[in-house]
Structure 1
Amino acid sequence: MEHDGSNKTCNHIILVHGSCHGAWCWYKISTLLTSAGYRVTVPDLAAAGIDERRLEEVPTFADYNEPLLEILRSLPAGERVMLVGHSYGGVCIALAAEMFPEKVAAAVFLTAFLPDCTAPPSFAIDKLFEVPRSVWMDTQFKTYTAEEKRPASMLFGPQFLESRLYQLSPPEDITLAKTLIKITSLFLDDLGSRPPFTVGRYGSVDKVFIVCEQDFAIPEQHQRWMIENYPVKEVKSIEEADHMAMVSKPKELCQCLIEIASKYS
């Protein structure tokens, strides 16, 4: 979905959701940014949100990102956008920056996986998965045989949503999430076999990381490890934000994004 702000020339911000979520999770931020005069585009990635594809119809990471890539592909010549990726959406905006660096004014990683230019794109996710499986609580994981040619799937459980993703969020947003989340994949086999993103393309794009200090899903320690592993242009922090900063601290996040847009766009 796309929202247009005032008639004046304004920055174009693309908000990219994380795993099991969809464009719906950005409803507060999209409203705030639009009211502030920004043009905001919020895609559902393939088989996510209201996209009608089933996960088995989305065999690769590139297929999953096709809705985002198509938006960038169709931008008028000379237009540059600010990409904001949340959680798994960080890997998605990294792919977009790799493919269309000339169209990206800045890439913003909101408590998001931050790929580097030396390891496969799965590296930061693999490191997080070194924690005991019990951390994922009632999240459902399923693998398939090679003959089935389907990506391994994941679906956050209600307990995990409440205690690790939305623990500081309003109860109505937890209810919304339980109603709307969909099964997805991290495409780890695919990402692990891909070459690193390149210095000349992805590496050339200005990057900002927004740390969410009360995130229990991608803990602050892991966020700061990613930043140390691959330093970015600027680091911002939201003290009382859980993993879902867009619903737990929307005004603070919106202010961060406006500051970044005015500086890099």
Structure 2
Amino acid sequence: MKPTEKIKKMAEAKKQKHFVLVHGSNHGAWCWYKVKAQLEAAGHRVTALDLTASGIDMKKIQDVHSFYEYNEPLLEILASLSADEKVVIVGHSLGGLSLALAADMFPHKISVAIFVTAFMPDTKHQPSYVVERFSESIPREERLDTQYSIIDKSNPSRMSILFGHKFLTLKLYQLSPPEDLELAKMLVKPGLLFTDELSKANEFSNEGYGSVKRDFVGSDKDNCIPKEFQQWMIQNNPVNEVMAIKGADHMAMLSKPQPLSDCFSQIAHKYA
């Protein structure tokens, strides 16, 4: 190989980033299909995964007994990386808690964690803190047709959650293409919030999660996690940079996939 060709290949390899995309509650890897294609077209490597009992994973949510078990697919990917490889890890909505767990366990494997309209915990309170604060701020009537079900009679606080069609339409997908809303109606599966377990867990550590660089990407038309609550989370646990996707609903990866993909690339190059 000629020296100039070798330099060119090294430059191209340096530009390529490995993105790991983590979905939120009730969803799966499928919700990233637009962003995955756009990032790959830009020359990046992308891993979009199903957490346990999500997407096409065959396990049932009632058989998931811990937050760790729910996140095993993500943790296994990070554990399998080579010693010198770092990834850009992206979490949406409840996936923000998954990012925090992954960063706490594998801080040296992550170049930056990007929270996309996501719950962003801190290192001062229990991991459930931001979700509990959010639940307290949302009147029950605004949850519309969301269904809650007890899945363990010996532990009534262990409940599953399933977004109803009305909630999907008005709170999550109100600006997304109608075909993506219909896709969601067909594919959403019950999930768990894990608030009971996480309210008793140790805080995420400053040495782990607290040491990882974090950026927050918000949606200005988010009807699920309002702009005011996004701002509160950022004030509660400041990040390196805050970016906003204009005209995006809660599902920014579907309502504004190209601006979101461009945002990811910009952030990734900043922390190369």
Q: TM-score, normalised by structure 2?
A: 0.93
Kindly provide the amino acid, as one letter, of the partner of residue 194 in structure 2.
F
**What is the alpha-carbon distance in structure 2 between the residues aligned to residue 19 and residue 145 of structure 1?**
19
Shift of 1:191: 1.0
Supply the RMSD in Å over aligned alpha carbons: 1.5
- Which one is further off, 146-155 or 15-24? 146-155
- Which one is further off, 149-158 or 126-135? 149-158
What pairs up with 1:143-158 in 2 under 5 angstroms? 143-145=150-152, 147=154, 151-158=158-165
**What is the alpha-carbon distance in structure 2 between the residues aligned to residue 33 and residue 239 of structure 1?**
19
Alignment partner, residue 5 of structure 2: none
* Equivalent residue in structure 2 for 1:82, among 78, 82, 88: 88
| Residue 233 (structure 2) pairs with residue 209 (structure 1) | no
What pairs up with 1:139-218 in 2 under 5 angstroms? 139-145=146-152, 147=154, 151-218=158-225
Return the index of the structure with the highest Cα Rg: 2
**What is the alpha-carbon distance in structure 1 between the residues aligned to residue 231 and residue 156 of structure 2?**
35
Instruction: Report the secondary structure of 1:42's partner residue.
Output: strand
Shift of 1:143: 2.6
TM-aligned CA distance change 1:100 to 1:137, over 3 Å: same
Q: Is the 8 A contact 1:59 1:150 kept in 2?
A: no
Instruction: Report the secondary structure of 1:77's partner residue.
Output: coil
* Equivalent residue in structure 1 for 2:115, among 99, 109, 118: 109
**What is the alpha-carbon distance in structure 2 between the residues aligned to residue 151 and residue 173 of structure 1?**
30
Instruction: Report the secondary structure of 2:49's partner residue.
Output: coil
Aligned length: 260
Shift of 1:151: 3.5
Shift of 1:147: 2.1
Q: Is the 8 A contact 2:22 2:49 kept in 1?
A: yes
Q: Is the 8 A contact 2:150 2:156 kept in 1?
A: no
Instruction: Report the secondary structure of 1:63's partner residue.
Output: helix
Where structure 2 has 5 or more consecutive residues not aligned to the other structure, the ranges are: 1-8
What pairs up with 1:124-139 in 2 under 5 angstroms? 124-130=130-136, 131-139=138-146
- Where has structure 1 moved over 3 Å in runs of 4 or more? 148-151
**What is the alpha-carbon distance in structure 2 between the residues aligned to residue 63 and residue 260 of structure 1?**
30
Q: TM-score, normalised by structure 1?
A: 0.95
Where structure 1 has 5 or more consecutive residues not aligned to the other structure, the ranges are: 1-5
**What is the alpha-carbon distance in structure 1 between the residues aligned to residue 159 and residue 80 of structure 2?**
31
**What is the alpha-carbon distance in structure 1 between the residues aligned to residue 152 and residue 118 of structure 2?**
29
Shift of 1:146: 5.7
Shift of 1:109: 0.2
| Residue 128 (structure 2) pairs with residue 122 (structure 1) | yes
Shift of 1:238: 1.0
**What is the alpha-carbon distance in structure 2 between the residues aligned to residue 79 and residue 152 of structure 1?**
38
* Paired-residue identity, %: 50
TM-aligned CA distance change 1:241 to 1:135, over 3 Å: same
Alignment partner, residue 3 of structure 1: none
**What is the alpha-carbon distance in structure 2 between the residues aligned to residue 187 and residue 151 of structure 1?**
7
| Residue 264 (structure 2) pairs with residue 257 (structure 1) | yes
Instruction: Report the secondary structure of 2:247's partner residue.
Output: coil
Q: Is the 8 A contact 2:93 2:117 kept in 1?
A: yes
Shift of 1:216: 0.5
Alignment partner, residue 52 of structure 1: 58
Instruction: Report the secondary structure of 1:26's partner residue.
Output: helix
